[in-house]
Each structure stands twice: as structure tokens, then as C-alpha cells.
């Protein structure tokens, strides 16, 4: 967007911040010759701290929504797509709610880590990840 819509003003841009790994992958795919520096924060310690809390919030919201419908998540199975920091946080928070989480991720290392944490986990090819 920056390169296509503001190409004449790129000299005014000192840099951009990307906070998601998906955003970094898409940036590398779509604009291989970036004309501005990109600060990649997806692997930062601050992002990890935020992601854990996001996972807890997501699980809490799901629990609240289902309870509002007179249902319970306890004892149910849930599949989490993505075994990164947020997905891991969701899995751990769901487990605390007595949900049985499993996870899928294109990264075999993340799948292994999820298994070591006691979750059922499987890989999915990256090209099939977003359809």
C-alpha cells in the first residue's frame, strides 16, 4: 500500500513497524524490494508478553460467549490454528478451562513444542495455510 499509493512520498518515511509474522511474510512476498526499513517486532520479548495475554483474553471471551448461551466449554474439544505465542497462550488458557485443545501449524518445530506441552498437534503445509 505504501509503495503503490504513496510512492512519491516514500522519502518522507523513516521506516515502518510490523508486529505480526504473517505481515512480515506478506511484505516479503508482495514487495521484495522495499524502499523503507521495516522494524520486525513479531519476535520481540514485548510481543511475547502481549501474545500470552491475548491468548488468555481469547479463551476468556469464548468461555463468556458460550456461558451466555447457556453452554459450557468444559470437556469439549477445540482446534487452535497457529502454535505461535498467541496460539500457545490460547491452548494453555483453554486447558485451564477444562477444554481439550489441539493445534495445527505449518512449522514442525512449533508442532513439536505444542506436543511437548501436552497438546495434540499436527502440521499443515504453509501453502494450504490461508487457502
Cα–Cα dist 110/105, whole Å? 7
Q: Let me know: does 19 contact 42? Beta carbons within 8 Å.
A: yes
Looking at residue 130, its pLDDT comes to: 59
Q: Which residues are bridge partners to 79 per DSSP? A: 102
User: pLDDT per residue over 5-25, tens digit each?
Assistant: 777 888 887 877 787 877 887
Looking at residue 47, its pLDDT comes to: 83
Whether residues 14 and 52 share a domain: the answer is: no
**88, pLDDT greater than 80:** yes
- 82-86: list long-range contacts, CB under 8 Å, 24+ apart: 83/107, 83/110, 83/111, 83/113, 83/114, 83/121, 84/21, 84/51, 84/110, 85/47, 85/48, 85/51, 85/52, 85/55, 86/51, 86/54, 86/55, 86/58
**51, pLDDT greater than 60:** yes
CA angle 11, 28, 105 (to 5 degrees): 145
Cα–Cα dist 108/6, whole Å? 39
Whether residues 22 and 52 share a domain: the answer is: no
**112, pLDDT greater than 70:** yes
Cα–Cα dist 83/112, whole Å? 10
Whether residues 59 and 123 share a domain: the answer is: yes
pTM comes to 0.73
Looking at residue 103, its pLDDT comes to: 96
Looking at residue 77, its pLDDT comes to: 96
Tell me the pLDDT of the chain averaged across its residues.
Answer: 87
* Cell matching residue 3: 509503495
Q: Could you give the percent of the chain with pLDDT greater than 90?
A: 52
Looking at residue 52, its pLDDT comes to: 82
Whether residues 35 and 54 share a domain: the answer is: no
Q: The domain containing residue 68 runs over which residues? A: 48-129
**131, pLDDT greater than 60:** no
Whether residues 79 and 116 share a domain: the answer is: yes
Nearest to 37 by CA among 53, 16, 21: 16
Amino acid at each position: 500500500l505504501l509503495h503503490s499509493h504513496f510512492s512519491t512520498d516514500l522519502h518522507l518515511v523513516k521506516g515502518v513497524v510490523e508486529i505480526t509474522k504473517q505481515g512480515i511474510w506478506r511484505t516479503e512476498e508482495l514487495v521484495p524490494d522495499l524502499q523503507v526499513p521495516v522494524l520486525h517486532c513479531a519476535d520481540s520479548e514485548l510481543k511475547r508478553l502481549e501474545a500470552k495475554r491475548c491468548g488468555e483474553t481469547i479463551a476468556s471471551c469464548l468461555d463468556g460467549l458460550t456461558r451466555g448461551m447457556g453452554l459450557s466449554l468444559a470437556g469439549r474439544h477445540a482446534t487452535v490454528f497457529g502454535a505461535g505465542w498467541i496460539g500457545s497462550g490460547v491452548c494453555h488458557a483453554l486447558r485451564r478451562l477444562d477444554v481439550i485443545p489441539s493445534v495445527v501449524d505449518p512449522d514442525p518445530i512449533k508442532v513439536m513444542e505444542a506436543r511437548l506441552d501436552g497438546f495434540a498437534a499436527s502440521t499443515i503445509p504453509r501453502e494450504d495455510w490461508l487457502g
